[in-house]
Chain A
Amino acid sequence: MIAEELEQEQNSGMTLSDKSVKVDEPLQPSSDRLDSVGSRGRIDITDLSVFYGHLQVLKNINLAIEPHKITVFMGPSGCGKSTLIRTLNRMNDNVPGFHVTGSVTIDGVNIYSRGVDPVLLKLRVGMVFQKPNPFPLSIYDNVCFGPKIHKMTKSKAEMDDVVRVSLQKAGLWDEIKDRLKESALKLSGGQQQRLCIARAIAVRPEILLMDEPASALDPGSTTRVEDLMVDLAASYTVVLVTHNMQQAARVGNKVAFLYRGDLVEVGQAPNIFENPTNPLTEKYISGKLV
């Protein structure tokens, strides 16, 4: 059942609209949104400031992230791009002193409002990290890890389907379908990263956050992951953090340039590189900003 949906989703580029109530409850959007195809997974960041204790790392960010687009956060080290992406699924909650002002809404619900369960939120907002981090388990067990914990399938056959479809969507199935029982740690770095993407997809999120997913990979693997991101954007809202401008230009639909906690400029991908309006952006693009 789930696998069919996943497959359908893959073919039609539609997001799932009837996930289990348990998952949706805390983030229930208005009903008209529910029915409109392809509008799920919209993120609106409004007047967002983020603090670690007294240190303000993000200042008054306003940004709309649209479904089925790749939105890129770029900027030099320490600009706050990683903090911003981790704010979108509340991964920073465990950092001592972390707090936010302003709001981050997903399909109209503020994820920092009371009543939103940060654990369930992560089922809608998946994440892939800089360093591939597969569990020291088999390939199969890595992919079914999330669905199993959240009891998303009813039978072994159903789980098999979820694993297969997730790996297919991550472009890994053909390479490893005969060795699902082998350790994930035997895979190459690029394969491990695509496995992590499959693992994130398997819990059926609407939004995929990717925090420099290719920065630890060789050029060939990087290309594969970049192609994959473009494919994934058909089904998911993709948010990408990168310090690689070429990558931002290659895959980004919308690019946001951050510098020292400020959102300096947002633009459509070709425009921002060809005609940056802010002098800071221009300096960064021409490699003069460290």
Chain B
Amino acid sequence: MARHLQDTIYKYVTMCLSGVALALIFIIIGVLIDSSYPALVVYGSKFFTSITWNAELTGSICYTSGIAHMCGATFGVLVYLTGTLLSSGIALLIGAPAAVGLAIVLAEIAPRRLASPISFVMELMAGIPSVIYGFWGILVLVPYLKSTLEVGLSHSLSSVPIFSGAVFSAGLLASGLILALMITPIIASISRDAMRQTPEGLKEAGRALGLTDWEITYKVVLPYARTSIIGSIALGLGRALGETMAVALVCGGASNFLPKTFFYPINTMAAFIVFQLDAAFTDPSGMSISVLAEMALLLMAITMIVNVVARLLVRRGFVSRPENLIQV
């Protein structure tokens, strides 16, 4: 009897604990929606189309639909939304292929003697606090970009608009590269583990059919690990979108203008929330907090969309044909 009771307790305790996680998400979303409601009413769709962010903290208070806000204040998320999407996009374009390549090397090509130390360093990299990446970015990456890489790019590719023009010390390229560096170990370590799960029997079947090593990787190992690889890329992208500290240090802190080249200073939503929060609390109308909450809500929505799209890609079979492949 006592042992049955044990089972009952076990069942309900675990159910409660999993409920806590679910409840937390709903509480966070609820709080964000509640806090951003004034901003939604007052600024509406202008919030998404304006590039100007001007809180007018010293002005007087006006009322729209009974909601207080500073007279003449404008809040537009476009600069920060663009910065977030572009820097994460660059990170994904550089990081995902590099990570999958690294995973292939570690899982398929490198002998154990070489793969183990590289794996160790890679996992270490995944665990480094982001402020250290940012600090390294400021001390090493940004000066290098300014003195060498960006200069070189703008010289040799000056006919391409996105590579032409003035070189800034910190900005879009630096943010994208730092983010790429940060998400590569995450994607690579998950992908490597997934590739190593490929049953030896399948690889032998491929070899016995006259597949080369590359064909075995491309036709057997990658399809087998496909689900996890897409999942790891979504995870990496989520990390890049929400990354705050490292980007805050190397983004250049742009406001009120959109990037025209790879070298422009940018700003991201996550970094901007951190930059602005102090000042926002001094807003007598409270509107500054509300617009930041709306920005946070938008960021959350984007990361959720990334996850949903990743799931759809997995189900639809992005890499290989749909109905045939068994999900792993």
* Contacts A133-B201, A133-B204, A135-B220 given; does A146 touch B209 at CB 8 Å: yes
Within residues 210 to 226 of chain B, which ones have a CB less than 8 A from any CB in chain A? Answer: 210-212, 215, 219-220, 223-224
Chain A residues, Cβ within 8 Å of B202: 133, 135-136
User: In the complex, which residues 53-112 of chain A have their Cβ closer than 8 Å to any Cβ of chain B?
Assistant: 89, 91, 94
In the assembled complex, the CB of B212 is this many whole angstroms from the nearest CB of chain A, namely 5
A120 touches B210 (CB 8 A): yes
* B8 sits at the interface (CB 8 A): no
Q: Does B308 lie at the interface of the complex (its beta carbon under 8 Å from any beta carbon of A)? A: no
List B residues at the A interface (Cβ < 8 Å).
199, 201-202, 204-205, 207-212, 215, 219-220, 223-224, 321, 323-326, 328
Tell me how many residue pairs across A and B have CB atoms closer than 8 Å. Answer: 68
Q: In the assembled complex, how far is the CB of residue B146 from the closest CB belonging to chain A, in whole angstroms?
A: 48
For the complex formed, measure the closest distance between the CB of A84 and the CB atoms of chain B, giving whole angstroms. 16
Interface centre among A129, A135, A141 (most CB of B within 10 A): A135
Give chain B residues whose Cβ lies under 8 Å from the Cβ of A129.
201, 204-205, 208
A-chain residues with CB within 8 Å of residue B204 when the two chains form the complex: 91, 129, 133
- Tell whether A122 is near chain B: CB-to-CB under 8 Å: yes
Q: Find the residue from A133, A138, A145 having the highest chain B CB count within 10 A.
A: A133
Q: 8 Å CB contacts to B: which residues of A131-160? A: 131, 133-138, 141, 145-146, 149-150
**In the complex where A133-B201, A135-B202 touch, is A119 in contact with B212 (Cβ < 8 A)?**
yes
Name A140's closest neighbour in chain B (CB-CB). B324
Shortest CB-to-CB span from A258 to chain B, Å, is: 22
Cβ of B198 to closest chain A Cβ, rounded Å: 10
CA A91 to CA B209, docked complex, whole Å: 11
**In whole angstroms, what is the CA distance A196 to B219 when docked?**
17
- Residues of chain B lying within 8 A (CB to CB) of residue A261: none
Contact B208 A91 (CB under 8 A): yes
Q: Could you tell me if B209 and A200 are in contact, using CB atoms closer than 8 angstroms?
A: yes
Instruction: Please encode chain A, from 187 to 200, with 1 for each CB lying within 8 Å of some chain B CB and 0 for all others.
Output: 00000000010011
CB distance from A52 to the nearest CB of B (A): 16
For A138, list chain B residues within 8 Å (CB): 323-324
9 tightest CB-CB pairs across the interface, nearest first?
A133-B201, A127-B208, A122-B210, A138-B324, A136-B326, A146-B209, A133-B205, A123-B210, A137-B324
Q: Which residues of A contact B219 (CB under 8 A)?
A: 145, 149
- Does A228 make an interface contact (CB < 8 A)? no
Nearest CB in chain A: distance from B325 CB, A = 6
Other A-B contacts than A135-B220, A199-B209, 13 sampled, CB-CB below 8 A, are A91-B207, A119-B211, A121-B210, A127-B208, A129-B205, A133-B202, A133-B205, A136-B328, A145-B219, A146-B209, A149-B211, A183-B326, A200-B209
CB distance B199 to A149 under 8 Å? no
Chain A residues near B205 (CB, 8 Å)?
A: 129, 133-135, 196, 199
* Alpha-carbon distance A183/B211, docked complex (angstroms): 22
Interface string of A168-207 (1 = CB under 8 A from B): 0000000000000101010000000000100110010000
Interface: A126 (CB within 8 A): yes
Q: How far is the CA of A288 from the CA of B201 in the complex (A)?
A: 33
Query: What separation, in Å, do the CA atoms of A47 and B201 have in the docked complex?
Result: 30
Asked if B212 and A200 sit within 8 Å, CB to CB, the answer is no
Task: Please give, as numbers and ranges, the residues of chain A lying within 8 Å of B321 by CB-CB distance.
Answer: 137, 141
Q: CA separation between A79 and B208, bound complex, in Å? A: 23
9 pairs, CB–CB < 8 Å, chain A vs chain B: A89-B208, A119-B210, A119-B211, A121-B210, A133-B202, A135-B202, A135-B220, A141-B324, A149-B211
B107 nearest CB across to chain A (Å) = 15
Docked-complex contact A145 and B324, CB < 8 angstroms: no
Q: Which residue of A lies closest to B326 (CB)?
A: A136
In the bound complex, how far is the Cα of B208 from the Cα of A259, in angstroms? 26
What A residues does B323 contact at CB under 8 A?
A: 138, 181
Residues of B within 8 A of A127 (CB): 208
Contact residues in A for B220 (Cβ distance below 8 Å): 135
- Bound-state CA distance A126–B209 (Å) is 7
- Give complex CA distance A120, B30 in Å: 63
Which residues of A sit under 8 angstroms from B199, Cβ to Cβ? 133
User: Which residue of the partner chain A has the closest CB to B320?
Assistant: A137
- State the Cβ distance, A187 to closest chain B Cβ, in Å: 12
Tell whether, in the assembled complex, residue A185 and residue B326 are in contact, meaning their CB atoms are under 8 Å apart: yes
Residue of B with least CB distance to A185? B326
Tell me the nearest residue of chain B to A186, going by C-beta: B326
Closest chain A residue, CB of each to CB of B210? A122
A181-B323 Cα distance, complex, nearest whole Å:
8
- Which residues does chain B contribute within 8 Å of A150, judged by CB atoms? 210
Q: How far is the CB of A128 from chain B (nearest CB, A)?
A: 8
Chain A 36-51: CB-based contact to B (< 8 A → 1; otherwise 0): 0000000000000000
Q: Specify which of B202, B207, B208, B321 lies most central, judged by the most chain A CB atoms within 10 Å of its CB.
A: B208
Find chain A residues with CB under 8 A from B210 CB.
Answer: 119-123, 146, 149-150, 203
User: Chain A residues near B325 (CB, 8 Å)?
Assistant: 136-137
